[in-house]
Structure 1
Amino acid sequence: MLKPSLFAAEAKDIDVSFEFFPPKTEKMEQALWSSIRKLEPLHPGMVSVTYGAGGSTRERTHATVSRILKETDLLPAAHLTCVAATKGEIDDIAREYWDMGVRHIVALRGDMPTIGQAYAPHEQGYKNAADLVTGLKKIGDFHLSVAAYPESHPDSANPAADIDNLKRKIDNGADQAITQYFFDVDMYFRFMDRVLAAGITVPIIPGIMPVTNFAQAKNFSGRCGTSIPAWLATLFEGLDDRPEIRRHVAATVAAEQCMRLYQGGVKKFHFYTLNRSELTTTICHFLGIRPEGEIS
């Protein structure tokens, strides 16, 4: 059962961050900027902008980050991947970001442009995210986030290998990790037990994704290795044509997930907004994070 008073009155030390993706069309750009404007008053610690598979959104990511810097008070973090680019090309992009004033990069291995295609590094490129972290630290004193996988990355041989890979990224200079989204809070804490046992002490920030469309979430989760609990599927049964109830359920589920994480000591949360503001704003309200002037 939710206890809104925990967040509304007592939890004053929570920090949130938001993720956006670069728009493909003018209509999508309008929706993105509407969301950014609505979420800006919540004063997130940072906002990240994703980088498409195979570097497919490179220019749009750059343009979005640049506009955030120029037109808002937000601190943008640019995603950067290893796929389909030489070290020189990636280094040039990183230097451009540094010259723009960007000091936070989310360093990722990245996905190939074709779904299901096995990962293969560019012959003259960075081999993986750990290698990318090393290269970026040589360019500037970036604050670097990397990815972590509570259920292990689909390409990992086993959970131990996945933790080893995370440790390499941290040892090479990453400052924190942001997890793939998950729904099983207990699994996150078991993952953290393994992380700490491996000697990893940097912040591991849980990624939270409110479920706006269960069918799409199930399909995407199958590709990225995130399990869907049976109770979650049951909650969304019969709601395909009832969007209002779906949104209420999605907000409640995500808020309770955050509550349980907070009770376990988590103070930072990263929200995958899908360029929508309503659910993220609602969940932040539960957390006691509201625009200045609102009573909390």
Structure 2
Amino acid sequence: MPQNIPSRDKLRVSFEFFPPKTERMEAGLWSAIERLEPLSPSFVSVTYGAGGSTRERTHQTVKRLLDETKLVPAAHLTCVDASRVEIDAVIRQYHETGVRHFVALRGDSQTGVGGKYAPHPDGYQSSADLVAGIKAIDEEIEVSVSAYPEKHPESSDFATDIELLKRKVDNGACRAITQFFFDNDVYEKFVERVRRAGIYVPIVPGIAPIHDFTKIARFAEGCGTTIPAWLAARFEGLENDPQTHSHVAAAVCAEQVLDLADRGIRDFHFYTMNRADLVYSICHILGLRPASATSLEAATAAAAA
């Protein structure tokens, strides 16, 4: 167990949200954003899927973040069900709105998890091509991409996965954000492989707070993420005990991040699921505080001195 909690200025976090589908979900999203904004994340990303309605909801959420908060939004983009002309138009629309950071992804199969992906005949054929397309519109745009410590489910081997990641970086990506994982040794071995391949951009750990262990285990199975036996044991018998489940989830996640911090990692990307309380608790354990609280602590310390 780590002995020292890193100071606030040494750990940086970012948060992922998804656009709401209903008024009730929208209220929940903005409640989460208001709760987490004082923690001053490096950026917040907003997911994006196939279909015009999803794209429009993402754009509305990003625009509101720009208009009503001090947060720096990163808009997700995928290659699914759209031509290059359509995707380029979306990029330019975001650019005109003020967005200067994208998360470029291939996107999931139109038939759902486990289905075979089919690129649009006139679209970007891969996430590497999408990165190049974004940078062609504005070389100064910041582009993040995905990485898979346990290999993408559709990849034949790690070499194929890492070759694609290198193409994304060569085309202009400045950061990779990983699929969530629970075994830090797996992440560390992946980073070693990436570095040997000549990829030197930050590989930011994607962290998934466990709001519901049963659901996360089911999702992990679909995307190839290992659930260690020790982790399953932590949540055993808590299916009908949400309070204890929440306490255990905060402790488990904080342990994971602190261990990664001990290994030299300083940037972390949290998949919030539009829920703030558990993420906020974890960040508090990590030593992150709202800016106002940090200023008050500094003033109190100065006065006492």
TM-score (norm 1): 0.96
Match 2:89 to one of 79, 87, 92: 92
Q: Deviations over 1:39-64 (max 9, x none)?
A: 00000000000012566611100110
- Counterpart-to-counterpart distance in 1, 2:135 and 2:27: 35
Tell me: CA distance 1:55–1:172, structure 2 relative to 1, closer, same or farther (3 Å): farther
Question: Distance between the aligned counterparts of 1:55 and 1:230, measured in 2?
Answer: 41
CA distance in 1, matches of 2:52, 2:247: 35
Identity of aligned residues (%): 57
Q: Any idea what SS the aligned residue of 1:57 has? A: helix
Deviation at 1:279, TM superposition (A): 1.1
- What is the identity, as a one-letter code, of the residue corresponding to 1:229? P
Instruction: Give the corresponding residue for 1:18.
Output: 15
Report the 3-state secondary structure (helix = DSSP H, G, I; strand = E; otherwise coil) of the residue aligned with 1:12.
Answer: helix
1:245-279 per-residue CA deviation (whole Å, 9 max, x = no partner) reads 10111111110000110011100000000000111
Instruction: List runs of 5+ in structure 1 lacking aligned partners.
Output: none
Aligned residue number for residue 153 of structure 2: 154
Alignment of 1:70-81 (within 5 A): 70-81=67-78
Q: For residue 120 of structure 1, what is the aligned residue in structure 2?
A: 118
Deviation, 1:114, is 2.1
Alignment-mate amino acid for residue 180 of structure 2: Y
Instruction: Quote the Cα distance in structure 1 between the aligned partners of 2:253 and 2:51.
Output: 30
**More displaced stretch, 110-119 vs 260-269:** 110-119
CA contact (8 A) 1:19 1:47 kept: yes
Q: Does 1:102 align with 2:99?
A: yes
Q: Which residue of 2 aligns with 1:64?
A: 61
- In the other structure, the counterpart of 1:174 is 173
Maintained 8 Å contact 2:73/2:101: yes
In 1, the alpha carbon distance for the partners of 2:183 and 2:80 equals 30
> Which letter does structure 1 place at the counterpart of 2:121?
E
1:133 to 105, 126, 131: 131
User: Which amino acid in 2 is paired with 1:129?
Assistant: S
* Unaligned segments of structure 2, at least 5 residues: 298-305
* Paired residue secondary structure (1:84): coil
In the TM superposition, residue 11 of structure 1 has moved relative to its aligned partner by 5.4
Structure 2 CA distance for aligned equivalents of residues 233 and 218 of structure 1: 9
Matches for 1:199-238 after TM superposition, within 5 Å: 199-238=198-237
Deviation at 1:219, TM superposition (A): 1.0
Q: Say whether the 8 Å CA contact 2:84–2:123 is kept in structure 1.
A: yes
Distance 2:215 2:183 in 1: 18
Structure 2 Cα separation of the partners of residues 56 and 63 of structure 1: 11
Amino acid at match of 2:246: R
Cα deviation, residue 232, structure 1: 0.8
Question: CA-to-partner distance for each residue in 1:124-179, whole Å, 9 max, x for gaps?
Answer: 00001000001111111210000000001011110111111111100111111100
Determine if contact 2:48/2:78 at 8 Å carries over to the other structure.
yes
Paired residues in the alignment total: 293
Secondary structure, counterpart of 1:93 in structure 2 = helix
Cα RMSD, aligned residues only: 1.3
Structure 2 match to 1:44: 41
Q: Give the distance between the partners of 1:32 and 1:127, measured in 2 at CA.
A: 32
How far 1:6 sits from its partner (Å)?
Answer: 1.9
- How far residue 70 of structure 1 moved from its aligned partner, in angstroms, is 0.3
Is the CA contact 1:55–1:84 (under 8 Å) kept in the aligned structure 2?
no
Contact in 2 for aligned 1:55/1:83 (Cα 8 Å): no
